[in-house]
Amino acid sequence: GSNIGSQKERVVTEEEWLQKWEVGNIGFHKEQRHPLLQKYLDVLLNGKSGLRIFFPLCGKAVEMKWLADMGHNVVGVEVSEQALKDFFSEHSLPYCEEPVPEISGGKMFQSTSGNISLYCCSIYDLSSSIVGKFDGVWDRGALVAVNPCDRQRYASLMINLMEKNSSYLLVTVSYDPNKHKGPPFYVPESEIKSLFGSCCEIQCLEKVDDFSEKHKQWGLDYFLEVLYMLKFVA
């Protein structure tokens, strides 16, 4: 279970992520809304409207527009400026760009309607004093992309950004970490408990077989998506 093979030492640099976007090597981007978010959206929203919802390492996730169109305020962070510009152009959304004074070189792209604000910077440059706090998080492809050595730092930041009684939908992946170096990295349930257990109730909602030809090429014989609900209790 908790053996993550040689992945513990693996580091993917910011430059490598930028390169993936530049050359279009973005197999992690999904053109369709994620079925688990569609299925468990009610769990995330909990009957409330006008929530502030955070998309860590958002890329150009199509779900951001979907939730904004429902009347929620969406905030994302992504290191690739190209990904963010692609998001707005692919959805034909007008936007403006402004510097973020607290972050050296940081920019914020905001839809003209004002309900989508995407920060272009390292996620570790964010704080609640810059972006405020959130009622909900959709984390798919974020925790599993963070370098394993940075997970504690990532979790501490996410905990700091969450309102009391907020809901955090987290998608991790499960496979044999001795057969693939990642990303996406394997994050065992024991690790989620050690990262978030002190301030959250953690529930595993569903495990889905997501095995595909790509995973076969990676040398894997199984690949699961695992969805957790983290409830930040008051």
| 202 in a known ligand binding site | no
The response to whether 11 counts as a known ligand-binding position is: no
Q: Binding site annotation covers 66? A: no
User: Does 174 belong to an annotated binding site?
Assistant: no
**Token pair for 3:** 């053996």
Whether residue 21 is annotated as binding a ligand: the answer is yes
Query: Is residue 130 marked as binding?
Result: no
- Is 90 annotated in some ligand binding site? no
Establish whether 136 is an annotated binding residue. Answer: no
Say whether 107 counts as a known binding-site residue: no
On whether 27 is known to bind a ligand per the annotation, the reply is: yes
Residues ≥6 apart with Cβ < 8 Å to 47:
none
Q: Is 160 annotated among the ligand-binding residues?
A: no
- The full DSSP string for 66-104 is HHHHTT-EEEEEES-HHHHHHHHHHTT--EEEEE-TTST
Residue 2 marked in a binding site: no
Is 218 one of the annotated binding-site residues?
no
User: Which amino acid type is present at position 124?
Assistant: Y
Q: Tell how many helices (H) and how many strands (E) occur in the chain.
A: 8, 9
17 is in an annotated binding site: yes
Amino acid (one-letter) located at 129: S
What are the beta bridge partners of residue 137? 54, 168
Q: Is 1 annotated as a binding residue?
A: no
Whether residue 25 is annotated as binding a ligand: the answer is yes
Cα–Cα distance measured from residue 144 to residue 142, given in angstroms and rounded to the nearest whole number: 5
Report whether 73 belongs to an annotated binding site: no
**Strand boundaries in the chain, DSSP class E:** 52-55, 73-78, 95-99, 107-111, 116-120, 134-140, 162-174, 200-209, 224-232
Q: Which residues are annotated as a binding site?
A: 17-28, 57, 78, 122-123, 140
Q: Which residues are annotated as a binding site for S-adenosyl-L-methionine?
A: 17-28, 57, 78, 122-123, 140
